[in-house]
Structure 1
């Protein structure tokens, strides 16, 4: 069997029938929205590019010590002056000035991202009261980093998220670069934050364990961002998602017949879960990371059948138990 193209009507039918468990009514509990939590994103690219003198940069490094250390690596320099000299050189670079102008134009209004992050942090705080809300900064990285996430701060490299049609693009394969666009910013952050709560068994190095890990990460992101389309969580197009569901029986059969679930060879695991333009072991028309997508379906079925809480799911390190109790069965295609 091979991946095939469907008419627009077929895609709609598949999405409605097969994706029903992932298209719950889009709403956030009012109890979550009422939490006393505010997110204010600080636009550091503006402050740093408006600085011009050594004194200006000294002031900014003192004003944002967490950013200076965790992002700029201040302590790695022989002296603050050497870091400042580098910042001034970047400030005077004509290419960086053009890049800054592009970022400033494309991201004049960042209020939608700010509000989405605020609601997402409220949801995380609701489910995980121990969650410490980090400071959030934007910056112009010069395509050095897309996201920096620590316990205390998040730095968004806005140049990575310019429109995919823009002349400035990160040095990434096209299939990955297409996921660096504005709608992916918040889902990327939340998926990354899920790792703080995603308990694993370090002794389990099977493909199934990797699949369940990613499945829990995506399920977490969807639970925190219920109004976000699946395509911005997993990074597949709508057509690719529809085709995956239409071929789910075939995909699952491939994993079972080739005894992949308990495979421990890292090379083989990477073929099905690692970044790639397609999963060629199945089909050159199948998107990459299919093992992650299957893991998401398994975890969704587990949560549906067990009716457990999000914290209980994330705290469960037993991939085998999650798989066995999921009752997972692939949805039949057309």
Structure 2
């Protein structure tokens, strides 16, 4: 199956190359394709909950978020969500002053994610056009203590957005975290969807699974080019940087 998808991935790149004479070779007819995206907001569920209720309501949270909760746990370095200490960690995470300040800032910038949902739907409609047999991921948002921007998990159709990595290039937290200016320049709302699509592509076609002839800088450059081409193809209305 992986070989088949690698072939389709290559066909996608070739077809777009041959179509380069068109005004926008990435434009395709997706009018009959649906890809419903509803972002589950884990950060809201966690930080608006009474800390004393977190442990008792942990089964409810696990039921709602499923493997999404595990992806979040890995991002914040707490391991298995079934570990007895996981609930205590969540309490500490949600009562940390800086995390609460970051949550407040996140909610000011992102009180609503409908525009992100809409743009992701557009991207994944293109994804289903090119790869009709592939699953569209379940999407959630969170804050991760600045540990991750895009979260994925091998073998699971899940995609997470670490909103604390998109608080704006002038966010006062970033310099103190050692984040260089060229990096924070991309930590803005308009990069969420392209980063999601790129991250999803990287999770579906990771470097090792592509079986390049050699593991060297040239192969890495080739793979990076493919992922950027993939992202551009899924988001034809987004201009190249």
What's the TM-score bracket when you normalise by the shorter of the two chains? 0.7 to 0.9
> How far apart in 2 are the matches of 1:26 and 1:208?
26
1:163 aligns with 2:168: yes
> How far apart in 1 are the matches of 2:231 and 2:22?
13
1:144 aligns with 2:147: yes
CA contact (8 A) 1:136 1:154 kept: yes
CA contact (8 A) 2:198 2:228 kept: yes
Q: Give the TM-score normalised by the residue count of structure 2.
A: 0.77
- Tell me the CA shift for residue 45 of structure 1: 0.7
- Structure 1 141/171 Cα, relative in aligned 2: closer, same or farther at 3 Å? farther
1:49 aligns with 2:50: no
CA contact (8 A) 1:164 1:180 kept: yes
CA contact (8 A) 1:24 1:226 kept: no
Q: Give the aligned partner of residue 190 of structure 2.
A: 183
Q: Give the TM-score normalised by the residue count of structure 1.
A: 0.57
- Tell me the CA shift for residue 144 of structure 1: 1.7
> How far apart in 2 are the matches of 1:100 and 1:119?
28
> How far apart in 2 are the matches of 1:162 and 1:63?
26
Across the aligned residues of Structure 1 and Structure 2, the Cα RMSD in angstroms comes to: 2.6
- Structure 1 22/87 Cα, relative in aligned 2: closer, same or farther at 3 Å? farther
1:214 aligns with 2:224: yes
Q: Give the aligned partner of residue 237 of structure 2.
A: 227
Structure having greater relative contact order (Cα 8 Å, sep ≥ 6): 2
Name which one, 1 or 2, has greater alpha-carbon Rg: 1
| Count of aligned residue pairs for this structure pair | 209
Map 1:220-259; keep pairs closer than 5 Å: 220-231=230-241
**Deviations 1:160-214 (Å, cap 9, x if unpaired)?**
0001112232542221121121111111121223332477343223544333222
CA contact (8 A) 2:72 2:144 kept: no
Q: Give the aligned partner of residue 71 of structure 1.
A: 72
> How far apart in 1 are the matches of 2:205 and 2:98?
40
> How far apart in 1 are the matches of 2:94 and 2:71?
20
Q: Which runs of 5+ in 2 are unaligned?
A: 1-19
Map 1:73-152; keep pairs closer than 5 Å: 73=74, 76=80, 79-80=83-84, 82-150=85-153, 151-152=156-157
Greater shift, 120-129 or 211-220, is seen at: 211-220
3-state DSSP of counterpart to 2:161: strand
> How far apart in 2 are the matches of 1:110 and 1:202?
38
